Amino acid sequence: MRTTVLAALIALSLVSSVSAQTTSARTPSVPGVMTQPLLPPYVAAAINDSERQADKAIDARRKAGEVATFTQVKPGQKVLELIPGAGYFTRVFSAIVGAKGHVYVLWPNEYAKEDESDVLGSRKLVAQSHYANVVVLAQPAAQLSVPEPVDVVFTSQNYHDYPDPFMGKVDPAVLNKQVFAALKPGGVYVIVDHVAEAGSGLRDTDTLHRIDPAIVKKEVEAAGFVFDGESNALRNPADTHTAKVFDKAIRGHTDQFIYRFRKPAG
């Protein structure tokens, strides 16, 4: 009798152990529903923010939860978002940092002339009480500055724009040094962008709107940053890297790299 009971207890213990390990690795499986990796509670809450209902349709494609987690943005922090587009990540960051944090969205004057509708969208966003922690900044592309040191600088699909003619051919070395100065010691700089052919450098930034990840890493490290990791959440091996990112055949599904760089703490 004792042997039988002991064996049952051991079996139960093993099942519980395996179950715990599985739960820590992924969310519970539900028939017909795609499972996603577990997110920090504050990120999960931000993704489920009721004010983001219009964004839900593209969350799976843009991997909002995984990207936000990779940025290491936390409640109470200060974030600088360069060229925020339609505000997709602005809304996520605003919900994460909460009332004690701030999100500064920066529109370079040169870019704003090309995207008046999104700039107007940013201004409408900050007029809503729900986004009282968001501030719009407007300044020349080559003169990046922030009202206070920030914990995270983030840009999605726009790093490649800075050296282009319409932006005044901003020197990446200047941009990255200004980002470095804007960050607190230990702060991070996260860049998401469309992948160009290996070895192409800056060749395709103005034509295909792509950039070689290797040149980005080289430029950012030259400013004093330390490479701190890469996420494959938005990688797409089916992308040949030869089509313009607005091509209907690839738009919304380009191969994208996500790099995180850290400003040394000392």
For the record, the structure tokens of 257 come out as 């790299």
- Across the 266 residues of the chain, what is the mean pLDDT of every consecutive 10-residue run? 42 39 35 57 96 93 96 98 97 98 98 96 97 98 97 98 97 98 98 98 98 98 98 97 97 97 94
Q: Which residues contact 6 (CB under 8 A, 6 or more apart)?
A: none
Task: List, for residues 186-198, the tens digit of each pLDDT value.
Answer: 999 999 999 999 9
Query: Considering the domain boundaries, does residue 65 fall inside one?
Result: yes
Looking at the chain, the number of H-run helices and the number of E-run strands are: 9, 7
Query: Considering the domain boundaries, does residue 29 fall inside one?
Result: no
Supply the DSSP symbol for 141.
T
Task: List, for residues 139-189, the tens digit of each pLDDT value.
Answer: 999 999 999 999 999 999 999 999 999 999 999 999 999 999 999 999 999
Whole-prediction pTM value? 0.86
CATH number for position 149: 3.40.50.150
Give the residue numbers spanning the domain of 85.
39-262
Instruction: List, in sequence order, every residue forming a beta bridge with 227; answer none if it has no partner.
Output: 261
Instruction: Please state, in angstroms and rounded to a whole number, the distance separating the CA atoms of residues 61 and 70.
Output: 16
Query: Considering the domain boundaries, does residue 176 fall inside one?
Result: yes
For the record, the structure tokens of 58 come out as 């593209």
